[in-house]
Amino acid sequence: MTFTLLLFSTRKPPPQPSDHFPTKHERYYIHRVETPKSEGNTERNPTTPAVLFAGAQTDFDYDSVSTLTFADQAAFGAYVAVMQQPENAAKIAEVEGKYLDTSKTSIVPVGEAVVTTRE
Question: Where residue 40 sits, what CATH number does that domain have?
Answer: 3.30.70
Question: Does any domain span residue 118?
Answer: no
pLDDT of 36 higher than 80: yes
Residue 56 amino acid letter = A
Question: Does any domain span residue 9?
Answer: yes
pLDDT of 23 higher than 80: no
Question: Does any domain span residue 117?
Answer: no
3-class state of residue 66 by DSSP: strand
CA distance 10 to 103: 9
Q: Which residue has the higher pLDDT, 115 or 23?
A: 115
Task: Report residue 18's pLDDT band, with 50, 70 and 90 as the boundaries.
Answer: very low
Question: Does any domain span residue 116?
Answer: no
Question: Does any domain span residue 115?
Answer: no
Question: Does any domain span residue 77?
Answer: yes
pLDDT at site 94 = 93
Do the beta carbons of residue 47 and residue 34 sit within 8 Å? yes
115 φ, ψ to 5°? Answer: -110, 130
pLDDT tens, residue by residue, 56-112: 998 988 889 998 888 888 888 888 888 899 998 999 899 989 988 989 899 999 888
CA distance 91 to 94: 5
pLDDT of 48 higher than 60: yes
How many domains are there within the chain? 1
pLDDT tens, residue by residue, 8-17: 888 776 554 5
CA distance 10 to 43: 13
Question: Does any domain span residue 99?
Answer: yes
Question: Does any domain span residue 63?
Answer: yes
Do the beta carbons of residue 38 and residue 80 sit within 8 Å? no
pLDDT at site 20 = 33
Q: Which domain holds residue 79?
A: 3-110
pLDDT at site 14 = 54
